[in-house]
Amino acid sequence: MFDSILKTVTSSLTGELKDKVYLDERKANDVAALTADSFKESISEKASMGEIGDIVSMFSGGESGGGLKSLISNKLVSNLISKLGIPEDIASKVSGFAVPFIIEKFMGEAKQKGVDNEAGITSMLSELAGDSLLGNVGSKLKGLF
C-alpha cells in the first residue's frame, strides 16, 4: 500500500515541479524520484528504530512530524547535491517545496485508504520495516490513539 500511494503522489509532484519550480521534464522526474526515496528512507529509518512518534504525528495531522520532516528534508538536500549536482541553495529551495508537498499529498491519500488509525499505520509500517518489527511498532502505537 505504501508504495502505491507514494507512486501516485510522486507523479503529482513531478507535475508541480514543472509548473511551480520550472524544472524540465527529466529534472522534475529525477527530483520527484529522489524526494520519494528520501521520504520512504526516512519513514523506514524511524520505523525500524521504533521511533514512530513523528510518523504518528504526521498521520494525526500534527506539525508534519517535526523531526521526520527535517530528516526527509536533510536527506533530500543531500541527495540532490550528491546525485544530481544541484547547488546547495537551490537544493534547499526545491526541498522547501517538495517535502511539504509530498507529506501533505501522501497523508491525504493514506487517509482516503484508511491509514489513519492504529491498524492502518501498523500495517503500512510493517510493509516498510519488515514483519519482524510489526510487534514492536504495534506495541508503541498502543495508547497513542
CA angle 138, 54, 93 (to 5 degrees): 145
pLDDT at position 132, please? 44
Range of the domain at 94: 2-141
Q: Mean pLDDT throughout 120-144?
A: 59
pLDDT tens digits, one per residue of 62-108? 654 558 889 999 999 999 999 999 999 999 999 999 999 999 999 88
Torsion of CA 135, 137, 140, 142, to 10 degrees: -70
Residues whose CB is less than 8 angstroms from the CB of residue 137 and which lie 6 or more positions away in sequence, other chains included:
47, 50, 52, 122, 125, 126, 129
Q: Which residue has the higher pLDDT, 115 or 87?
A: 87
Least confidently predicted of 37-46, 53-62, 108-117: 53-62
Least confidently predicted of 95-99, 111-115, 121-125: 121-125
Residue 111: pLDDT over 80: yes
Cell numbers representing residue 73 in the block: 528534508
In 10 A of CB 145, how many CB atoms? 12
Number of domains in the chain: 1
- Distance, in Å, from the CA atom of 20 to the CA atom of 130, rounded to the nearest integer, reads 36
